[in-house]
Amino acid sequence: MKDKENNNHFNETAFKYMTKPQGQYTIEDYDQLPEDSFVELIDGVLYDLSSPSVMHQIIATELLMKFKFFIKNSHGPCLPIIAPCDVILRKEDNRTVVQPDVFVVCDKNKIIGGRIEGSVDLAVEVISPSTKKKDFTIKLQKYMEAGTREYWLVDPDKQKVIVYLLENGPDPFLYTFKDKIPVYIFNNECVIDMEEILEEIDFLY
């Protein structure tokens, strides 16, 4: 996995026609990128999303499956989705498009033209050294401003999960990979056993 800090910012030499200074890009510019580009646009800055590690993908997939299993069995209206998928958190913000690793959207009317337009209910970021600063600060703020109800930061290195219940305040709940984590947006009826996920990735440590 490419975890160098300089991979956080988009390598503009890869697309020489993207000539604006960082901080001035819009969704219109973002839509001009090649279809196979995997980047985020946050406050006019393009961020290159490096290829995720095997551990990252296992964790994201396991969480997706657990969310999907609960939703299917509870016959709920929500839809769990895994990256890459464009999310425009706020329609009035034309300088931000994020790509949560895993997210849940409960209003399917927000699915417009192959992307999500509007806040998601739950966003999960599996952090790496190259994304840690952005996930803990910039994206936390963007999700909070957009009205995202719940935000998870999964840290494989420290085997911890930080959960923000954003509509209840800024103080997070801290869990380990040995804990069972209730999912707030599902009225705590869905509980994620992180130890089961740890068993799937333990061979990678």
- 39 pLDDT more than 60: yes
Distant-in-sequence contacts of 54-58, Cβ < 8 A, 24+ apart: 54/204, 55/156, 55/201, 55/204, 56/1, 56/101, 56/126, 56/128, 56/156, 58/197, 58/200, 58/201, 58/204
- Residue 15: the pLDDT is 53
Global confidence as pTM: 0.90
Pick from 37-46, 147-156, 185-194: least confident: 37-46
Instruction: Cite the DSSP H helix spans in the chain.
Output: 27-30, 54-74, 132-133, 139-146, 194-201
How does the average pLDDT of the chain come out, rounded? Answer: 91
Q: What percent of the chain has pLDDT over 90?
A: 81
Q: Is the pLDDT of residue 67 over 60?
A: yes
Could you give the CA distance from residue 88 to residue 114 in angstroms, rounded to a whole number? 11
